[in-house]
Amino acid sequence: MTRIIGLTGGIASGKSTVSNLLRQAGLPIVDADQITRQVQRPGSTALNKLAAAFGNQIIQPDGNLNRVQLGKRVFADTAARQELNQIMQPLIRDAIWQAVDTLKKQNVPNVILDVPLLYEQHYDEDCDLVVVVTVSPETELRRLMARNHYSAAEARARIAAQMPLSEKVARADVVIDNDASLEQTRRQVAQLVEHLQNKR
């Protein structure tokens, strides 16, 4: 039996940081962001559908998706964001479960499902355990602005587009507090890994 461990949090709360620590501990990760980029590779069904919906300017001359252009287009426009989700979510979902199935066939005891919109897209319903990485609102805003070079307004708009982090924390089975140093986060991840290994 393979257990599915959902890993989620807010935007810039530290999901990738925690997911990298779990990978270093030897746990297999299915990374939704990475899968999304794979699904949106040049010439893909996804890109053709996106170009039809949002115009050819969202494709770069080299055939890759212009993420900045697409991001600007949808974050100002709820209907456009819904259309983007309607196109992408089924394709991403299929690719994610395909990746999970491949790992299940290898009989690994645990698979980490690193999905930013885990609750919003209801992946939690298929998880045996959900881990939420949390930070304070101030830290989230500061780290998002620094990482993505967003203004405070741009960062706030992206945070507001997701389910409140406090709600994710309330629904979590395990919470990792990433507000302090990386060392403190590393200690919490080590505890989680031990917990997962003891349960196998």
Ligand X SMILES: Nc1ncnc2c1ncn2[C@@H]1O[C@H](COP(=O)(O)OP(=O)(O)O)[C@@H](O)[C@H]1O
Q: By C-beta, is 68 or 182 nearer to ligand X?
A: 182
Q: Using the rule CB under 6 A, is 22 a contact of ligand X?
A: no
Q: By C-beta, is 13 or 110 nearer to ligand X?
A: 13
Cα angle value 83/88/91 (rounded, 5°):
145
Q: Using the rule CB under 6 A, is 110 a contact of ligand X?
A: no
From 7-15, 37-45, 89-97, 164-172, span contacting ligand X (CB under 6 A): 7-15
Residues 44 and 29: their CA atoms lie apart, in Å, by 23
Q: Using the rule CB under 6 A, is 8 a contact of ligand X?
A: no
Indicate which of ligand X, Mg ion, none lies near residue 182 (CB less than 5 to 8 Å, by partner kind). Answer: ligand X
Q: Using the rule CB under 5 A, is 16 a contact of Mg ion?
A: yes
From 15-23, 71-79, 122-130, 164-172, span contacting ligand X (CB under 6 A): 15-23
Say which residues have a Cβ less than 8 Å from residue 117's Cβ, sequence separation at least 6.
8, 32, 123, 162
Q: What is the DSSP letter of 4?
A: E
Residues 81 and 191: their CA atoms lie apart, in Å, by 38
Backbone angles phi, psi at 119, to 5 degrees: -75, -45
The residue ranges that bind ligand X (CB under 6 A) are 9, 11-17, 143, 147, 178, 181-182, 185
